[in-house]
Chains A and B, each alone.
Chain A
Amino acid sequence: MHDDAMDSAPTGVPNSVRHHETVVDSPMEHDITDGGPDMVQFVDGEGNRLPTSAANEAYAQIVEDMTSEDARSMYRDLVLVRRVDAEGHALQRQGELGLWPSLLGQEAAQVGAGRAMRAQDYAFPGYREHGVAWCRGVPPENLLGMFRGVNHGGWDSNEHNFHLYTIVIGNQMLHATGYAMGIQRDGDVGTGDDARDAAVMAFTGDGGTAQGDFNEALVFAGVANAPLVFFVQNNQWAISEPNYKQFRIPPYQRARGFGFPGVRVDGNDVLAVYAVTKAALDAARAGQGPTLIEAFTYRMGAHTTSDDPTKYRIATEVDIWREKDPIKRMRGFMTTKGHADEAFFDAVDAEADELAARIRVACQQMPDPAKPHMFDDIYVDEHPVVEQEKADFIAYHSSFADAEGAR
């Protein structure tokens, strides 16, 4: 999987840069709907299983080993995750949430990655990783608190090995790296014990690869040979900015410069994402160090509910990607292979309806926090300033209650 695209990139491309033997074509030349020959892919847009290729060969066995049951439960995850996302979006539109970052289109990237993790592995998400959260067992309603404004993160990270959402782009990449270094120091790498060896996954977007923290994380992880998988969801846009405003070569090609392999995978092909991630995690747990995976996918919706993509992107691009829909593709594959029948698909849809209803009620019933709680959990040990302010706050507010009572 060590790419050699730098050597094989076409020469003579207009607007390309040549330095000695290396040719780097302009990112403007890249078709953002086509991941190119390096991209690992197992199933085409219609759900047909693709033959073995140079790119997917290394992972083919993982896919071969999967059972019908694996396929069905992955499909179920895709559909339920999409439904969670749709409900989040609807709840924002109805005023129940202040904001919602949609994962529409990225379900396969997240479910494939999340499913490849073991219980003892640890995930460090950005803010759009609702599908990974699902695979880690975080109840979807717990994701809503931050976007409703009642908390900054409504789950116990250590209960699910799923860190809190991180809003500042890039920050979590270093946290993940440090966590992986901790796993190394605990000796939980390369023991050969499947229940013990652990790895970390760090998630960010294509825009996030520009941050200093991202690049420093790659440096640290490479130097430490940390058990870590960097998972870049290249959904082609960082709010209004396309890939060519963030990097000159695709993220997966950058890994080599930091001393470890990079792989590009079709982020809309859940089997391919699962297989590539599983291989990378297995390598990390075995002590072979980090891998950078670039899941080539697309953000079908707006950046968040506050965004207006019509200002910066063209509709035909969205249409092309709609044809690559990850759920449609998986369903086609399963039907062709006889992994499931209509009754199964209907049952999953019905389950999605129930899940959506449950989330909706949970969101609507989520109470506003008691106001003095804002002074809680700021420090572990006593802090006189915060305690004084809390006391003042309570006294101030009860003075209104007294005044009202006196009337």
Chain B
Amino acid sequence: MTDTTPNRQKLSLAKGLNAGLRKAMEDDPKVVLMGEDVGKLGGVFRITEGLQKDFGEDRVIDTPLAESGIVGTAIGLALRGYRPVVEIQFDGFIYPAFDQIISQVAKMHARSLGHLRMPLVIRVPYGGGIGAVEHHSESNEAYFAHTAGLRTVTCADPADAYWMIQQAIASDDPVMFYEPKRRYHERAEVEIDEAAGAPLGLHTARVARAGSDLTLVTYGPMVKTCLDAAAAASAEGKSLEVIDLRSLSPLDTPTIMESARKTGRVVVVHEASTFLGMGAEIAAQVQRDCFYSLEAPVLRVGGYNIPYPPSRYEEDFLPDLDRILDSVDQALAF
């Protein structure tokens, strides 16, 4: 991975993460991975596959089955100068660790008047669409984006997976790193030019597709869905711009506003329930900053305000092309 630069590889998002983790561990001996089943098994999604074999059990730590314990001890390791990368097995299992994350991880730097650092990454495979049982499909990013002291980001494709995980690990602040589990196996050509470094900053939004009639603002698993929707809309002569936020906290507000001013119409799309979700924040900011440029109210397409339902409902629960395009039509009709 490191000898030839630039280096083009066809990678899945999962493999991008694996390669990024490997690189970070090679570059910094203080980087340690922790979590349930991350060792021999390579994690239930095999993101850490092969890493224990190569870096040993002291650096790829199979932890007891206890999320509060995992995050709490990672805090201690971070205090001792390590850079722990914690894997939460599934989104719905982060709640036992919620207290440690909210009460301790997020506040440590501020409460120590800047003396202490929490260079900790908490990886969370999130979102639905994989036909799983209860607690395996949630999008709980807003809880963490809402909490000051944390950085919350999410990758949407293999290249971002590769670079963003390294950037997150390099950050001296704690990073909630959300991984769109239903995109793990999607592959793309990734350009890895180590000398040039990451093409984008960790907190920079990306215009994933340029357009002029309306802006779809989205992130994580919905980026692909929105790109598909934009492609379908273009067949009908509508030009949609798609913004992949990448970072949920902080938000790259200028990129969103630039696009909103250009198109005058914004639809925010995410899997999480819309009520008090990321879309609420984005809509509020857009109407504040772009009021005179808007041709239509900012609309939101998201999961419904119900607990994530049994999997036979998820096709209807999750935003799909039709629901996105329906909102696009509503916005364009203003």
Contacts and interface: CB of A to CB of B under 8 A. Distances in A.
Given A170-B96, A385-B275, A374 B313 contact: yes
B64 interface: yes
Interface string A125-150: 00100000000000000000111111
Contacts, number: 113
Contact of B133 (A98, A373, A375): A98
Question: Interface SS of chain B: helix, strand, loop or mixed?
Answer: loop
B66 A211 contact: yes
A336 B323 CA distance: 67
Contact of B65 (A98, A148, A246, A389): A246
Contact of B304 (A99, A389, A397): A389
B47 to A, nearest CB: 14
B37 A239 contact: yes
B296 to A, nearest CB: 18
A149 B93 CA distance: 19
B40 A369 contact: no
A241 B134 contact: no
Interface residues of B, number: 40
A147 B36 contact: no
Contact of B313 (A208, A311, A371): A371
B62 interface: yes
Contact of A148 (B44, B304, B312): B312
B304 A312 contact: no
A250 B307 CA distance: 37
Contacts of B309: 374
B93 to A, nearest CB: 6
Contacts of B306: 374-375, 378, 386, 389
B134 A146 contact: yes
A169 B65 contact: yes
A168 interface: yes
A369 B313 contact: yes
B289 interface: no
Contacts of B211: none
B30 interface: no
A239 B64 CA distance: 11
Interface of A: 98-99, 127, 145-152, 167-170, 207-208, 210-213, 238-241, 245-247, 306, 311-312, 368-369, 371, 373-375, 378, 385-386, 389, 393, 396-397, 400
19 contacts: A98-B311, A149-B311, A169-B65, A170-B96, A210-B66, A212-B68, A239-B36, A239-B37, A240-B62, A245-B62, A245-B63, A247-B64, A311-B42, A312-B40, A368-B312, A369-B312, A374-B306, A374-B316, A389-B304
Interface of B: 36-37, 39-42, 44, 62-66, 68-69, 92-93, 95-96, 131-136, 275, 304-307, 309-314, 316-317, 322-323, 326
